[in-house]
Structure 1
Amino acid sequence: MSILQAKRKRQDLASTLSASMTNEERAVYNIIRGKKEMGIWQGDIKRETNIPDSMLKKSVKLLISKTLIKEVVNIQNKSKKVLMAMEFEPSKEITGGEWYTEGRLDTQLIDALSDVCLKLISRKKVATRDAILEWTRTLGSEVFPGGVSSGQVEQILKVLVMENKVQEVNSTGFGEFSTVPAGEVCFRLAKKVGTNVKAGAMASIPCGVCPRIKFCTPNGVISPTTCQYYQKWLDF
């Protein structure tokens, strides 16, 4: 059954059950349904209808049991759930977006997707966003129970670029880019050149292996100014 078919089925069910609703239930349901993907707090329903607390709570409980409405955690106020008609999906303002589950930032999902991106890029040398997305799908529900969207992969890649863990480049179509069409945006591991160059230069200084280094002083018999090996290193 498609999403559209399921939505129509719920609408038909609501119409059928509407005939058996009390006036209070119908008023509560219509207000909730009218708020669509934003939902409404129970306290706001009371202010709009003036229905007594006990009757309002009973109406909400019955509507939930009939699967006509649902409770949704609001990221802006987790202690107060909003009520929403079953046919609507909560807006990003309510849920916090794709990175939130039950009103909480899903750090496990973020860490897992970051790890997958880095591993595939390391294995393939270069990888596109779509290639990474496809790989997440092959990993199945064991790693990503709710699946991953292209937008989520793109956001993680942007963060990895900002953290200087990967580089965003355009494929040349040759060499390490042979698997990616020329001109297409792809990602590769960042090259930390600075650290390697510095280490190589320091390792080649003759002072590091000189057996007389402890006798070397600026104005002594053995000094950097008179050392022929040190001078040759400087000239090189």
Structure 2
Amino acid sequence: MDDKTSILKDQLYAACEEACKDNPDRLFSQEDLTALNVVPAKDVKKLLQIVQILTKERLFAPVHFHSGLAWRLRPEAEAAKYQALTSEDQVLVYEIIDSAGPEGSWQQDIKKRLNLQDNALRKALKELEIKRFINQFTTVENTSKKMWIKYGMQPSARATGGPWYTDQFLDEAFIDALQSVVVNIIKEKGSYRSTAERNVRSVSPVLPKKGVIRGGLSDAAIKSKKRSADAISKDDPPSTSSTTSKFRGAVRLPLIAGYTGYPTAQEITADIVKMNVAKGQPLKTEHVQELIDILVWESRIEEVKMGDRVGYRAVRVSKHNPDIVKLDSEDFWEARTNGLTTVPCGKCPVFELCEEGGPVWAGGCEYFDKWLA
């Protein structure tokens, strides 16, 4: 290699280092290397010669794509490790492990790719391990697999299970505790806590006006048909949907339609970090999103579209599932009911006589007073 080629090689490598400051994993195609204006654009032969030298010195790592060949920059300290290897088997094995990154390489995959004998592969792995170029680790997917990774590199969350695994075992207690924290945050920010007394009987000051009854019924006929509210309550069986005693005190109620303050995954993550309940685990938004997805699948929370954002709110607890939460609990949400079947008009004995200004009308109905109490 002449002096001019050596200078161009150093300049091209320095230009690639400068271009990789913002993106260390950047790939360089032939067009990208030409655009660095180190080698003349028309001198493709010289560019190819320099790239071959950098690849041979392990400063460039070739990457094959369907669209062509590209190169990834390798730090000089990492390239020096290849020069310290004493056999071709060690070089090939280390190159596979190096390219695998934090995912690591399975020993059987290395054997198949290089078509090495067991003795030769074990010898190469042992030499690399002694030199502290690689070390062995196990994944949560299969603890019997012999996986290898570059020395000092942390395995990926996929290999270790992320924050949900402790010593390669799923930490179910930790997951359940964090799920409860997530639900509580969503309830606090995505619902209204009402502390009003809800069993106080309201009495309407409006009384029905006296007048002529349609249909020409006599007073005796009216009296025979009309029953008081107390009489109805004595004759009819008690309704299971009564809310007089169940909703006494504090309850959580849904917020108004169009509310845009429901917590997002990013906001929930920030709250958990502030609360410092993650046992020192570096929780990220994608980790909390996994918990949220499980809660959505379990129908404990639901998504709410807020423009270009996605928030979450707790799902209303039904009366038909009292085992989920106690009916007198603060977290019991007022259940949905069918107004057409629960309104007093549905079972009023004098419904046909009800009219504005008549002897029976909604403004002074004693049944409504009892129903709204």
TM-score by length of 2: 0.39
The corresponding residue for 1:120 is: 185
- CA 1:12–1:121 in 2, change beyond 3 Å: closer, same or farther? same
Counterpart-to-counterpart distance in 2, 1:183 and 1:36: 35
- Could you tell me whether the CA contact under 8 Å between 1:68 and 1:86 is conserved in 2? yes
Query: Once the two structures are superposed, what CA deviation does each residue of 1:69-97 show, in whole Å capped at 9, x if it has no partner?
Result: 23342444320122233597756775567
Mapped to 1, the partners of 2:297 and 2:162 lie a distance apart of 21
Residue 193 (structure 2) pairs with residue 57 (structure 1): no
Pair 190,52 (structure 1): closer, same or farther in 2 beyond 3 Å: closer
Distance between the aligned counterparts of 2:302 and 2:99, measured in 1?
47
**1:15 aligned to which of 79, 94, 97:** 79
Work out which of the two has the higher radius of gyration on C-alpha atoms and give 1 or 2: 2
Q: What amino acid does structure 2 have at the position aligned with 1:112?
A: A
Would you say 1:133 and 2:198 are equivalent positions? no
- The structure with higher relative contact order (CA 8 Å, sep 6+) is 2
Residue matched to 1:31: 96
1:143 deviates by 1.8
Question: 2:65 is matched with which residue?
Answer: none
* CA distance in 2: counterparts of 1:170 and 1:31, whole angstroms: 45
Would the aligned equivalents of 1:46 and 1:56 in 2 still touch at CA under 8 Å? yes
Give the AA of the match of 2:312: F
Alignment of 1:157 with 2:292, yes or no, is yes
Residue by residue over 1:127-159, the C-alpha shift from the partner in whole angstroms, topping out at 9 and shown as x without a partner, is 32222011122234x624332222232232232
**Could you tell me the TM-score, scaled by structure 1's length?**
0.57
Q: What is the letter of the counterpart of residue 314 of structure 2?
A: L
Which residue does 2:310 correspond to in 1? 185
Gaps of 5+ in 1: 172-181, 199-231
Name the residue aligned to 2:215.
none
In structure 1, distance between residues paired with 2:150 and 2:23: 15
Taking a change above 3 Å as real, the CA distance of residues 28 and 193 of structure 1, as seen in their structure-2 partners, is closer
> In structure 2, what is the Cα distance between the partners aligned to 1:129 and 1:184?
10
Q: Given the superposition, is the C-alpha separation of residues 99 and 28 from structure 1 closer, same or farther in structure 2, using an over 3 Å criterion?
A: same
Cα separation, partners in 2 of 1:193 and 1:76, compared to 1, 3 Å: closer
Q: Tell me the CA shift for residue 4 of structure 1.
A: 4.6
Q: Which runs of 5+ in 2 are unaligned?
A: 1-21, 26-58, 60-73, 192-261, 321-326, 328-333, 336-366
Distance in 2 (CA, whole Å) between partners of 1:13 and 1:92 is 26
Deviation at 1:165, TM superposition (A): 2.1
* Maintained 8 Å contact 2:179/2:291: yes
Residue of 263, 279, 283 corresponding to 1:148:
283
Alpha-carbon separation, structure 2, partners of 1:136 and 1:109: 13
Instruction: Report the CA distance between 1:104 and its aligned residue.
Output: 4.3
CA gap 1:183/1:35 in 2 versus in 1, 3 angstroms: closer
The root-mean-square deviation of aligned C-alpha atoms, in Å, is 4.1
Give yes or no for contact 1:129–1:153 (8 Å, CA) kept in 2: yes
The offset of 1:117, in angstroms, is 0.4
2:163 and 2:281 in contact (8 A); partners too: no
CA–CA distance in structure 1, aligned partners of residues 173 and 138 of structure 2: 19
Structure 2 letter corresponding to 1:133: T
Q: CA deviation at 1:115?
A: 1.9
Q: Once the two structures are aligned, what percentage of the paired residues are identical?
A: 27
